[in-house]
């Protein structure tokens, strides 16, 4: 494909929050290569706020997965809204749909066909797979970051060079809400550094004990007079669809009694982005919050369990990554984390 044949481009990424954040450098590269093109993204309602205010996109379309539908929302309504969205996409007559994820993307390819795009660009693991018009041979590489892996698609579109930093825009109104809550809690502008403790993690091997978070908070307050913003995914841990960490947060709040902390559950992704935008540093496990903070340029200490540090480390931001040989985050001590925090750039 060349510049003359590409005027309307649809980028499809239907995965988790961190995956979409790691796609923003590719979106930026596409905009740089085609400054006058109409570029849109097709994502899901769960991760849509990652692209809020993204200057490289002309439009964002989002569909709701059945498991992400709101309480009381019927499946029929979800599917009707999806049909309306695809009708709108087809009216835009995209020249190309890009399956912006590593490997062959079966479900994303289905979405591309429904969008009516004239051609599809995506990875294939074997010739002829999916009858993709613009196939790019995919060879897994453990040495590449997720950002770099997706970036490889750009060669077919004339995108050269190295991928830039990730992009993320926090909603100013949401930032105002967080700052107001901090002020009400007695944590004002002078209460610095403000350190976010994000305690949620999808994988069990990534879940740091609340006792470790509490001990680390004590050390950081003693050594740096740090104040804290406690963040987690709300909900009960027994919820089979969307397990949350309300119980864990309550335990940690008790253990942090006497420390300057704002307890701030983030029921919406936009709230989490705004909270991360106002802090100075972050301590978290590998996951979506880590990538959001990296896109906001926040220095951090990241705790890795059984995941690939080379593929998922924070992209183009100051960080200290801790991963034990056991690949179990519980083996990381609070003292390990405090030492890593001390190695971050001086506040």
pLDDT in tens, 156-175: 999 999 999 999 999 999 99
What is the strand order of the sheet 96-99 is part of?
59-63, 38-44, 8-12, 96-99, 119-124, 134-137
Q: Using alpha carbons, select from 125, 94, 126, 124 the residue that is nearest to residue 111.
A: 94
Q: How far apart are CA 322 and CA 212, in angstroms?
A: 14
Task: Note the pLDDT of residue 4.
Answer: 40
Is the pLDDT reported for residue 2 higher than 50?
Answer: no
Is the pLDDT reported for residue 219 higher than 50?
Answer: yes
Task: Note the pLDDT of residue 141.
Answer: 75
Query: Is 172-342 in CATH node 2.40.50.140?
Result: no
For residue 264, give both structure tokens.
Answer: 């701030």
pTM over 0.75: yes
Where is average pLDDT lowest: 210-219, 232-241, 258-267?
232-241
Task: Note the pLDDT of residue 103.
Answer: 94
Task: Note the pLDDT of residue 138.
Answer: 94
Instruction: Pick 234 or 293 by higher pLDDT.
Output: 293
Is the pLDDT reported for residue 234 higher than 60?
Answer: yes
Is the pLDDT reported for residue 72 higher than 90?
Answer: no
Q: What percent of the chain has pLDDT over 90?
A: 81
Task: Note the pLDDT of residue 261.
Answer: 97
Note whether 3-157 and 172-342 share their fold. yes
Q: What percent of the chain has pLDDT over 70?
A: 93
β-pair partners for 272: none
Write down the H helix ranges in the chain. Answer: 17-21, 24-33, 75-92, 106-115, 146-151, 172-184, 210-224, 246-255, 269-278, 288-295, 309-312, 334-342
Output b/e per residue, 330-343; b: 16+ Cβ within 10 A.
bebebebbbebbee
309-318 residue pLDDT tens: 999 999 999 9
User: Could you tell me the residue ranges of all domains in the chain?
Assistant: 3-157, 172-342
- Number of other residues whose CB lies within 10 A of the CB of residue 75: 10
Is the pLDDT reported for residue 78 higher than 80?
Answer: no
Q: How far apart are CA 200 and CA 141, in angstroms?
A: 28
Task: Note the pLDDT of residue 15.
Answer: 86
85-102 residue pLDDT tens: 999 999 999 999 999 999
For residue 222, give both structure tokens.
Answer: 């003693």
Query: Is 3-157 in CATH node 3.40.50.2000?
Result: yes
Is the pLDDT reported for residue 1 higher than 50?
Answer: no
Mean pLDDT value across the chain: 92
Is the pLDDT reported for residue 216 higher than 80?
Answer: yes
Inter-residue contact 302 to 284 (CB < 8 Å): yes
Is the pLDDT reported for residue 189 higher than 80?
Answer: no
* Angle, in degrees to the nearest 10, between helices 269-278 and 172-184: 70
Instruction: Give the pLDDT band of residue 239 (cuts 50, 70, 90).
Output: low
Q: Exposed, middle or buried, 190 (CB in 10 Å: 0-12/13-18/19+)?
A: exposed
């Amino acid at each position: 494909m060349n510049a003359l044949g590409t005027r309307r481009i649809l980028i499809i990424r239907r995965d988790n929050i961190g995956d979409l954040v790691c796609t923003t450098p590719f979106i930026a590269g596409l905009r740089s290569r085609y400054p006058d093109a109409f570029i849109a993204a097709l994502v899901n309602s769960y991760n849509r706020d990652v692209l809020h205010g993204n200057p490289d996109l002309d439009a964002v379309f989002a569909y709701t997965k059945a498991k992400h539908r709101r309480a009381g929302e019927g499946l029929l309504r979800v599917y009707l809204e999806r049909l309306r969205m695809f009708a709108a996409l087809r009216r835009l007559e995209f020249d190309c749909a890009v399956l912006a994820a590593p490997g062959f993307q079966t479900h994303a390819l289905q979405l591309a066909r429904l969008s009516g795009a004239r051609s599809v660009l995506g990875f294939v693991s074997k010739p002829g797979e999916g009858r993709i018009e613009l196939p790019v041979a995919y060879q897994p590489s453990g040495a590449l970051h997720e950002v770099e892996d997706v970036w490889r698609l750009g060669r077919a579109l004339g995108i050269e060079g190295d991928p830039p930093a990730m992009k993320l825009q926090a909603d100013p109104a949401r930032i105002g809400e967080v700052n107001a809550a901090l002020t009400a809690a007695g944590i004002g502008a002078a209460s610095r550094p403000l350190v976010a403790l994000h305690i949620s993690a999808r994988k069990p091997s990534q879940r740091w004990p609340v006792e470790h978070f509490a001990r680390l908070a004590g050390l950081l307050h003693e050594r740096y007079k740090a104040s804290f913003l406690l963040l987690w995914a709300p909900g009960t841990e027994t919820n089979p669809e969307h397990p949350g960490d309300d119980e864990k947060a309550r335990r940690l709040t008790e253990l942090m009694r006497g420390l300057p902390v704002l307890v701030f559950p983030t029921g919406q992704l936009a709230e989490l982005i705004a909270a991360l935008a106002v802090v100075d540093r972050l301590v978290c496990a590998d996951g979506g919050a880590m990538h959001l903070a990296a896109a906001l340029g926040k220095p951090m200490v990241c705790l890795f369990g059984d995941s690939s540090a080379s593929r998922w480390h924070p992209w183009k931001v100051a960080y200290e990554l801790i991963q034990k040989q056991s690949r179990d985050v519980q083996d990381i001590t609070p003292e390990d984390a405090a030492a890593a925090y001390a190695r971050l750039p001086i506040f």
